[in-house]
């Protein structure tokens, strides 16, 4: 348990979007489970399979059959990151929700530090930024710099690393915020709408581990183009506070078929 001894251990839902991660997912779930056993009073891991075409689904179904805390949601068609996270968030049942990518881009034991930061700052969300993200080359570092700058200018606040997959949030945020992005705008939408409603977001820095297995699929021009198309449509509602009417109880497509 180390430095971050637990005054209060919260219950945590880990939400993992997954697309063709047969080389990563079992390892990621194993490492995350050990971290959650340490830092959470109770936990679940909600894996949303976005119509993978490799063995990923088979692997997570096997893991879910062996551990009831692992839940699998299955998309029949590829719905992209936004649709995938929305389904994962809707299915999450615990007090805190953490979003993490399937390629394990950070040490899940950082959850302990984030919980501690949440207690200290009384923030509703801890969003992490990467200390160094040049490991994936100049192009991605520039994209990310420009995107963070643009969102900061458009919405009037600086945020260091919007698209990084470490966001630990209280469930009140997901109860209040209505997310509509289908694509990778979802992180900006989550953060802007949370702030608009008065939730506080604090940032911590993390060591980032670029993937060494499988392929990165989220920096294509198609993905970036969709961010901008959705930004044009959703900009007005991302600027102004609006509370959602009600939150659906659970995602409709939960995969109960365990082998």
Ligand X SMILES: Nc1nc2c(ncn2[C@@H]2O[C@H](COP(=O)(O)OP(=O)(O)O)[C@@H](O)[C@H]2O)c(=O)[nH]1
Binding positions for Mg ion, rule: CB under 5 A: 103, 211
Q: Distance between CA 149 and CA 111 in Å, rounded?
A: 27
Q: What is the closest distance, in whole angstroms, from the C-beta atom of residue 221 to Mg ion in the complex?
A: 17
- Does 216 engage in binding with ligand X (CB under 6 A)? yes
Residue with tokens 């180390």: 2
Residues of this chain, 174-193, that bind ligand X according to CB under 6 A: none
Strand pairing category for 254-255 and 96-99:
unpaired
- Does 200 engage in binding with ligand X (CB under 6 A)? no
Q: What is the closest distance, in whole angstroms, from the C-beta atom of residue 13 to ligand X in the complex?
A: 16
- Does 218 engage in binding with ligand X (CB under 6 A)? yes
Residues of this chain, 221-250, that bind ligand X according to CB under 6 A: none
Q: Distance between CA 168 and CA 89 in Å, rounded?
A: 12
Among 12, 29, 81, 117, binds ligand X (CB under 6 A): 81
- Does 80 engage in binding with ligand X (CB under 6 A)? yes
- Listed residue (233, 145, 149, 140) closest to 185, CA to CA: 233
Is the CB of 30 or the CB of 156 nearer to ligand X? 30
Type and span of the H or E element at 14: strand 11-18
Is the CB of 83 or the CB of 112 nearer to ligand X? 83
- Does 50 engage in binding with ligand X (CB under 6 A)? yes
Is residue 182 within 8 A of residue 87, CB to CB? The reply is no
Q: Which stretch binds ligand X (CB under 6 A): 15-23, 107-115, 170-178, 235-243?
A: 15-23
- Does 219 engage in binding with ligand X (CB under 6 A)? yes
- Does 133 engage in binding with ligand X (CB under 6 A)? no
DSSP string over 144-177: HHHHHHHHHHHHTS--S-TT-S-EEEEHHHHHH-
Site for ligand X, rule CB under 6 A? 17-19, 21, 50, 78, 80-81, 84, 101-103, 211, 216-219
């Amino acid at each position: 348990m180390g430095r971050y001894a637990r005054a209060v251990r919260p219950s945590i839902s880990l939400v993992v979007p997954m697309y063709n991660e047969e080389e990563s997912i079992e390892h990621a779930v194993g490492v995350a489970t050990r971290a959650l056993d340490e830092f959470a009073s109770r936990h679940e891991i909600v894996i949303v399979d976005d119509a993978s075409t490799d063995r990923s689904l088979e692997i997570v179904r096997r893991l879910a059959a062996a551990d009831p805390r692992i839940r699998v949601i299955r998309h029949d068609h590829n719905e992209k990151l936004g649709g995938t996270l929305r389904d994962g968030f809707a299915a999450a049942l615990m007090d805190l929700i953490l979003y993490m990518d399937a390629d394990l881009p950070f040490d899940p034991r950082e959850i302990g530090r984030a919980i501690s930061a949440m207690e200290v700052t009384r923030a509703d969300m801890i969003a992490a930024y990467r200390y160094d993200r040049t490991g994936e080359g100049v192009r991605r570092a520039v994209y990310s710099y420009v995107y963070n700058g643009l969102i900061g200018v458009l919405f009037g606040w600086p945020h260091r690393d919007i698209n990084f997959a470490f966001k630990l949030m209280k469930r009140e945020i997901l109860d209040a915020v209505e997310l509509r992005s289908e694509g990778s705008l979802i992180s900006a939408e989550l953060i802007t709408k949370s702030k608009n409603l008065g939730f506080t977001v604090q940032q911590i820095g993390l060591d980032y581990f670029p993937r060494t297995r499988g392929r990165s699929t989220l920096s294509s021009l198609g993905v970036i183009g969709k961010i901008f198309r959705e930004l044009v449509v959703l900009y007005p509602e991302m600027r102004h506070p609006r509370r959602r009417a009600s939150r659906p109880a659970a995602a409709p497509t939960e995969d109960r078929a365990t082998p």
